[in-house]
Amino acid sequence: MIKKLNRIVGKRLNKKEFDLECYGCFSKIYDPINGRGIQFLDYLMSGLAVFSLKYPSLLELTQ
């Protein structure tokens, strides 16, 4: 998954395309508590949303 995200970050994607790519990657992760309450995918996407608020541009991470 990390290799795929590295390829995605290297591309020029807008926010919506990036979120869709991340959603696709995150949906492949095994959910150990499937069917009980909030899905693991929702936790990951929420984390991505909070991270995006803190660092609107992923390029800021390299500085």
Pair 19, 48: CB distance under 8 Å: yes
Task: Express each pLDDT in 6-32 by its tens digit.
Answer: 565 566 667 788 788 889 989 998 888
pTM of the complete model beyond 0.85: no
Q: What CA dihedral angle connects 41, 43, 49 and 54, to 10 degrees?
A: -140
Give the CA distances from residue 25 to residues 2, 46, 56, in Å, rounded to whole numbers and listed in that order.
9, 14, 20
pLDDT band for position 53 (cuts 50, 70, 90): confident
